Amino acid sequence: MGDPTGWDEPAPGVLRRRLPGWDETVGAVVGDDGVLLVDAGPSRSAAAALADGLRRRLGAPVTRLVLTHAHFDHALGAGAFPRAERYAAAGLAASLARGARAALAADAARHGADLAAAEADARAVPARWREVRRGLTVSLGGARSVVLASLGAAHSPGDLAVLVPGTPPVVFCGDLVEESGEPQAGDDASPERWPAALDRLLAIGGPAARYVPGHGAVVDAAFVHAQRAALAQRFGIGAPRP
């Protein structure tokens, strides 16, 4: 890709990068007020390295953070941004207060992370978030804004997509879409609601958008349509009655 910091740019001022290890994607959107980071990566050290790379490349700090969902590989780096404006789907603060930090650390350890380090990162996840119930437009300064769209429970208890209007529009999908493998449906997924969440995602982005999956290469609307159909079949939704 030619960029030593590992970022590529699916649209002007809109960046994304796949991380080593769990291959989760993080995104960045540049505005006059700084950089909006989409997902925080799996640890504070990974997150700090991301912020360093963005500052070198863009000359601007991370001033805002949005989480597409609260799985460890996307969220455990959040403690690296205590002063950023932070956005997440509704319910995150309550779930953190109910003990989600321990579950995040345990999940990270199950996937090969060091438990003590993951527990420290989990304790550092900020308690306060601006929670998105439906949609929220966030200005990043100048002409740049993004739309945060809460899509409810599907891949996780709270999935949030980020639309960056422009030419082309870019949609950060979180793990509602995966390109590098089958979408992962864990114990906390709501499979019956997943296809409808993808319908909303497609309505938000439209046919010309570039869709950035939580894992894998950037895809188009046709890929998302096909994944929606595959998920509906996999979960037995909309199948003809016997």
Which residues form the interface with Zn ion (CB under 5 A)? 71, 175
In the complex, minimum distance from the CB of residue 156 to Zn ion, in angstroms, rounded to a whole number: 6
Q: How far is the CB of 71 from Zn ion (least distance, A)?
A: 4
Distances (CA, A) of 90 to 3, 69, 72, 153: 35, 10, 17, 10
The Cα 46–Cα 130 span in angstroms is: 23
Our CB check for Zn ion shows the closer of 71 and 101 to be: 71
Residue with the two structure tokens 């890709």: 1
Q: At 184, give phi and psi (nearest 5°).
A: -85, 125
Min CB(206)–Zn ion separation in Å: 24
Q: Are 44 and 72 in contact (CB under 8 A)?
A: no
Edge-to-edge strands of the sheet including 14-18? 8-11, 14-18, 25-31, 34-38, 62-66, 85-89, 130-132
Give the shortest CB-65-to-Zn ion separation in angstroms: 17
Shortest distance (Å) from residue 184 CB to Zn ion: 6
- Which residue number, 131 or 175, has a Cβ lying nearer to Zn ion? 175
Q: Which CB atom, from 165 or from 191, has the smaller least distance to Zn ion?
A: 191
CA distances in angstroms from 100 to 67, 75, 142, 181, 200, listed in the order given: 15, 12, 37, 26, 27
Q: What's at 103, amino acid-wise?
A: A
Report d(CA 132, CA 1) in Å as an integer: 34
Tell me if 13 sits within 8 A of 145, measured CB to CB: no
Toward Zn ion, which CB reaches closer, 75 or 163? 75
Among residues 30 and 198, whose Cβ is nearest to Zn ion? 198
Identify which of residues 16 and 71 has a Cβ nearer to Zn ion in the complex.
71
Min CB(189)–Zn ion separation in Å: 9
